[in-house]
Homo-oligomer: A and B are copies of this chain.
Amino acid sequence: MHRIKVRVVEEALDANNTIARANRDDFDRQDVAVVNLMSAPGAGKTTLLERVLAELDGVRAGVLEGDVQGSFDADRLAALHIPVVQLNTGHGFGGECHLDANMVRSALPSLPLADLDLLVIENVGNLVCPAEFAVGEDVRVMVCSVTEGEDKPLKYPLMFRRCELVLVNKIDLLPHLDFDLDRFLYFLDQVHPGVERMLVSARTGEGVAAWRDWLASVPGRERAVA
Point out residues on A near B: beta carbons under 8 Å: 1-2, 5-6, 8-10, 12-13, 15, 19, 40-42, 67-70, 72, 91-97, 102-103, 124-129, 131-132, 145, 147-149, 151-152, 154-158, 170, 172-173, 176-178, 203
Question: Which of these, B72, B92, B97, B156, contacts A129 with CB under 8 Å?
Answer: B97
User: Are B156 and A41 in touch, CB under 8 angstroms?
Assistant: yes
Question: Which of these, B68, B92, B103, contacts A128 with CB under 8 Å?
Answer: B68
User: Are B92 and A6 in touch, CB under 8 angstroms?
Assistant: yes
Residue of B nearest to A149 (CB): B42
User: Are A96 and B128 in touch, CB under 8 angstroms?
Assistant: yes
**Least Cβ–Cβ distance between A98 and chain B, in angstroms:** 8
User: Are B92 and A127 in touch, CB under 8 angstroms?
Assistant: no
Q: A69-B157, A93-B6, A97-B97 are in contact. Are A127 and B173 (CB under 8 A)?
A: no
Q: Show 7 residue pairs from A and B whose CB-CB distance is below 8 angstroms, ordered by the A residue.
A: A96-B128, A125-B127, A125-B155, A147-B147, A172-B176, A173-B177, A178-B203
Q: Which residues of B contact A94 (CB under 8 A)?
A: 128-129, 131-132, 158
**Least Cβ–Cβ distance between A160 and chain B, in angstroms:** 11
User: Are B72 and A151 in touch, CB under 8 angstroms?
Assistant: yes
**Least Cβ–Cβ distance between A120 and chain B, in angstroms:** 18
User: Are A93 and B42 in touch, CB under 8 angstroms?
Assistant: no
User: Are A69 and B8 in touch, CB under 8 angstroms?
Assistant: no
Q: A40-B41, A173-B173 are in contact. Are A92 and B126 (CB under 8 A)?
A: no
Give Cα distance in the complex from A103 to B172, angstroms: 39
User: Are A41 and B93 in touch, CB under 8 angstroms?
Assistant: no
